[in-house]
Amino acid sequence: MTHIHDQAMNYVYQQVLQRLLSFFSRAERTALQLLIQRLAVAAGGMERMGDFKVLAIQSGSRDSCYTLALLRAAQLTIAGRAPATFQLRVATLRVNGSNPTALENIHRTCNALFVYDDPRVEVLMADNREILPFNHAAPVSPAGHESNRTNLLMLGHRRVWDGPLDLWDDSYLAMGEFCGQIARWNRGVDALVSSDTPRQQKQFMEGLKRAVAKAGLESADYPEPGYAGLFALLDELGGAGFRRFYTEDDLVPWHPAEQFETCRRTTFIDIHDMLVSNLKERWPLLTEFLGFQADELAAQLSDNEYVSLPVAAHLRGLQACFVQDRSYEAGVAEYLQRALVMMRRKQLPERLCELAEEVFGNPATLADLRVRAATEAQRSLGLSEAQMVCLLFAPFGDNAATLERFLRQCHPGMLVAMPELHRAMQGYPVADQVMQWMVDVSGLPVNLIGQLYRMGPVPVNQGRAVESATGDPDMEVQAGEGNDNTVMMGERSAGR
């Protein structure tokens, strides 16, 4: 019965491969053969391919779904030619704000490629530092949601109040941790495979190093460019990048601990040159075969892969209103104008520019936008508008150096309580009303606010990218660049 079942499944897999290959252009078929050769060299020869395991980080973006299709084609092609093919581990990091569309893209791609029931493929996710089978319909666990929210706030408060809005650097650190741990789980993997461009790899590594510095950790400079230096950096940092913020009891370990290898053997295989076709040529494969769904505006306009467009625009409005003493509308308008400059530099269709203007440039709908964005930030990120404003000022770090500015601008009634606030952050008992105000306005418990207070000034120029015409490092693009501006960490915006 087992032999008959195996024969039937092999027939199904070959049918999947033939249909997949029918969407490949001649250039893509050539790239597929080059990919197989590259994997064989990394494995030490085709005869050792059956013992070789490959890791692919899956985010639901169009390039990550396309990359998974390419790897699956290589896996099934080798299976038809050789006694054994490589093992494939597909892994996703679950974070607050994960858009259901991106998770659906992962699920539809895995279904189309028939990987769920293939013993040669593991489809996994990490939630609250636990490795689990991937489930696109499962929400982030309550404990995971709270942990993600706290990490976001702790790292987000480690900033210069008038500096760039790199408030989501926690995700760089979380993704770095995830890559290091998923590479060691369950007998580990031999290679991380990624199609991210050199520029995308550089962006991620700079963001990770910036986050490492904010977290109070030290890291050396590695000569290897891009992800080639990723695992050396992660080995230096150890398994917990957020450890300076929490006590040993508060820091959730990666679990189940007994399933993680002590040593990691993973190398990096760069296949960005394998994405030979342009987006228009890939679109039938993505949409007709994989069932990929895209939000065109999010794919082109998003200035940060960790926050949705409405929340990003809302944040600009809040910055203008509370930090820069301008109007909320002026901040959103500036966000739109800078984004339009970027979109036209990329020579995007004018209809997308018109759509952006319709969404963010209509004064009659800005009030509604603010309400919707605030609701989304509360639901997905666990942040109230007051807590986002507090995050903009980062008033607690470096012995509360900017606390007075924050209070004068946003909470003048609390100026008289400044001595009590300092006492609370220094660990002394104060009135319950003062403690509760600190918790409400920041979203953090007082002991963690005190940890920020004691951490000293924020390191500057640690892996910071040059800001673009939009005012954000992540929106810098080359004119006419064809690839979407995403990197391997799980994008929070949909269908990119």
In order, the DSSP letters of 119-167 are TTEEEEEEETTEEEE--TTSPPPHHHHHHHHHHHHHHHTSS-TTS---T
The CA–CA distances, whole Å, from 271 to 36, 191, 192, 421 equal 11, 12, 10, 53
Cβ neighbours, 10 Å, residue 220: 8
- The percent of residues above 70 in pLDDT, for the chain, comes to 90
Q: Tens digits of per-residue pLDDT, 331-349?
A: 999 988 888 888 888 777 7
What integer pLDDT is reported at residue 482 of this predicted model?
37
DSSP secondary-structure letter at 53?
A: E
What integer pLDDT is reported at residue 272 of this predicted model?
95
> Where are the domains positioned within the chain?
2-297, 299-386+470-475, 395-454
Would you list the DSSP string of 198-248?
A: HHHHHHHHHHHHHHHHHTT------SS-GGGGHHHHHHHH-S-TTTTTS-T
Looking at every residue in the chain, the average pLDDT score rounds to: 87
CB 170 within 8 Å of CB 154: yes
What integer pLDDT is reported at residue 294 of this predicted model?
80
CB-neighbour burial class of residue 197 (10 A; exposed 0-12, middle 13-18, buried 19+): buried
What integer pLDDT is reported at residue 52 of this predicted model?
97
What integer pLDDT is reported at residue 101 of this predicted model?
87
Task: Decide: helix, strand or coil at residue 322.
Answer: helix
What integer pLDDT is reported at residue 256 of this predicted model?
85
What integer pLDDT is reported at residue 148 of this predicted model?
95
Helices assigned H by DSSP within 346-464: 350-360, 366-376, 385-393, 397-400, 403-410, 418-425, 432-442, 446-454
What integer pLDDT is reported at residue 66 of this predicted model?
96
With a cut of 50, which residues of the chain have pLDDT below it?
1, 462-486, 489-496
Q: Which two tokens stand for residue 131?
A: 């490795």
What integer pLDDT is reported at residue 93 of this predicted model?
96
What integer pLDDT is reported at residue 248 of this predicted model?
80
What integer pLDDT is reported at residue 481 of this predicted model?
37
Task: Decide: helix, strand or coil at residue 89.
Answer: strand
- What is the strand order of the sheet 121-127 is part of? 130-133, 121-127, 87-93, 53-57, 191-194, 267-270
The backbone torsions φ and ψ at residue 130, rounded to the nearest 5 degrees and listed phi first, read: -120, 135
Q: Tens digits of per-residue pLDDT, 306-326?
A: 678 889 899 999 999 999 999
59 closest CA partner among 89, 88, 92: 92
**d(Cα 202, Cα 136) in Å, to the nearest integer?**
29
Q: Which two tokens stand for residue 7?
A: 């024969």
